[in-house]
Amino acid sequence: MNLSKILQINGNKYPDREALVLGEQRLTYRQWNEQADHLAQHLQQRGIQRGDKVVLMMPNVPDFAILYFAVLRAGGVVVPINVQFSRDEVAYILEDCQAKGLVVHEGVFPAVAELAKMQSSRFYVKTGPPEGRWESLGDWKSSLTRGQADTFDPMTLTEEDEVDILYTSGTTGRPKGVRFSHGNLLTVGTMTAIEFEVNLESRILHMMPLSHSAPLHLMFISAVIVGASHVFYPSFAPDLFLRLVEQERVTHFFGAPVAYLLSMQEPAFHRTDLSSVKYWLYGGAPLSKTQADAIAEGFGKDKLVCVYGLTEAGPSGTLMHHRDHHEKSGSIGRRGALFTEVEIVDEEGQPCPVGQIGEIRLRGEGMMQGYLNRSKEMAQTLKNGWVYSGDLAFRDEDGFFWIVDRKKDVIITGGINVYPKEVEDALGSHPAVEEVAVVGLPHQTWGETVTAFVVPKPGKSPLDEEAWLKEIRCFLKGKIAEYKIPRRVKVLTELPRNTSGKILKHQLKENRTGSGSYA
């Protein structure tokens, strides 16, 4: 079995069932299946063969869903990327995965328009009208007749074939591609459907970026497997979130904790009918017991579930239903999700006893195939069938897992990973910056906020921290994605270091009081 075949089956079984929804745009499973065939045929005519990569820079819209399956049916591999990526970030990914094509949404086109000058053999497509070397997706759709589509023969795929590559930043500062097979996604999608009762009558709201593993692999794929309805919106906004849940009778939603925290601040929150929802899922960012309790109180602990995992694991990991373990708010649960094993181990890979801090590792059929072009990093993360998370945790006497820190310096802000080295490298090129260290400091709403500790070069005009913040944000605009740009700056005369010269970031994190300017 493969994902493309599942959509084909659902197109035949549920031809008139509502499949893709965005405002007034409503597509049935038959229409989704037929349009995927149309575009797959066009992709093959453009030379896409088995294993070729096609990058999709699309927000949460029906065209994303159609293109995702069109690429698979043509034999290709989907590479979905964040619409907030800068031109340089997109250019790097195109070269790293040797993409044969790039499809972007009109809304983000201006930021990447010049990329069409890069490689003449690559095709470039955008929604909206054509422009220069950029072809129109609308023209692609209209160029094929129904008769042509009827003769289309999809590529024969197996569970071992590669399905997509998700890019996640590495500790070197360069994004790395995480490779998945159809079998991996069928595993985590089935897990989600069973654990959270996703079925034929479900209506899944997609407002978190489908370029991320949990929204795409857990929510999107599980809904495809069972023939559920997909309700899209290009980005998250708390007022629209509440309105869509009520209007579309949404049954399932996954979001970063910030999505729930912001929504609870909306004046309309307490008068919005949220009764249709069966499960509110949250994950992707640290959450205190106080915050978890507040969300459970606001959205209903009988419906709220904490999920923990990482991209390399599918994602899969642990889960905790608040209805069963409300007193353990702040924990990530005490069992692995379906098909998943979870352990805490020491530096030698031996299981840790109760109360001892170690690293979380996970094992299951949803685990990644590996990193693209990163054999050394893959060997560090994937060992003997286990994915090592880099998260430090302990297990209490009741068996619950509690995360205490991260081995890697990843910052999680609003559910999105930011790796300090990438920001430091970009900021280090500023002519007035002698040294810089970037860490995540606690933030009430976003979980963590990206914070830069800057040491100015000698002789440079001293700037106050507010001026430094404005300068840094202006300097980094277009170099890295907006969410990676520091929102807080602190100016120091020197960075704390140990005797080996290594920067002591834990001391910077402890230096969270006093001066500092915020965006």
Q: Per residue, what are the HEC states of 195-260?
A: HCCCCCCCEEEECCCCCCHHHHHHHHHHHHHHCCEEEECCCCCHHHHHHHHHHCCCCEEEECHHHH
Q: Position 332: which residue type?
A: I
- pLDDT at residue number 12: 97
Name the fold adopted by 411-518.
GMP Synthetase; Chain A, domain 3 (3.30.300)
Terminal Cα distance for the chain, rounded: 49
pTM of the model: 0.86
CA angle 184, 187, 188 (to 5 degrees): 90
Between CA 82 and CA 213 the distance in angstroms is 11
Strand, coil or helix: 506: helix
Name the fold adopted by 1-12+24-157.
Rossmann fold (3.40.50)
CA distances to 8, 186, 197, 198 from 190, in Å: 18, 6, 10, 9
Kindly give the interhelix angle for 238-247 and 257-264, rounded to the nearest 10 degrees: 90
Q: Tens-digit pLDDT profile for the chain (519 aa)?
A: 999 999 999 999 999 999 999 999 999 999 999 999 999 999 999 999 999 999 999 999 999 999 999 999 999 999 999 999 999 999 999 999 999 999 999 999 999 999 999 888 999 999 999 999 999 999 999 986 554 555 677 889 999 999 999 998 643 457 899 999 999 999 999 999 999 999 999 999 999 999 999 999 999 999 999 999 999 999 999 999 999 999 999 999 999 888 999 999 999 999 999 999 999 999 987 677 888 899 999 999 999 999 999 999 999 999 999 998 888 988 999 999 999 999 999 999 999 999 998 999 999 999 999 999 999 999 999 999 999 999 888 999 999 999 876 776 778 888 888 888 888 888 988 999 988 999 999 888 888 999 999 999 887 666 788 889 999 999 999 999 999 999 999 999 888 876 445 678 878 887 654 455 555
Structure tokens at 394: 């302990």
CA angle 481, 485, 487 (to 5 degrees): 145
Long-range CB contacts (within 8 A, 24+) of 84-91 = 84/481, 84/482, 84/483, 85/57, 85/481, 86/111, 86/478, 86/479, 86/480, 86/481, 87/111, 87/112, 87/114, 87/115, 87/478, 88/479, 89/175, 89/480, 89/481, 90/55, 90/57, 90/115, 91/115, 91/118
Domain residue spans in the chain? 1-12+24-157, 411-518
Task: Evaluate whether 95 touches 268 at the Cβ level (below 8 Å).
Answer: no
**Residue written as tokens 């978190």?**
208
Q: 461: which DSSP letter?
A: P
- pLDDT at residue number 418: 85
- pLDDT at residue number 410: 79
Structure tokens at 431: 């002519």
- pLDDT at residue number 96: 97
- pLDDT at residue number 66: 98
**Residue written as tokens 């949250």?**
282
- pLDDT at residue number 404: 77
CA distances to 21, 217, 243, 309 from 18, in Å: 8, 20, 19, 31
Q: How far is CA 293 from the centre of its chain?
A: 25
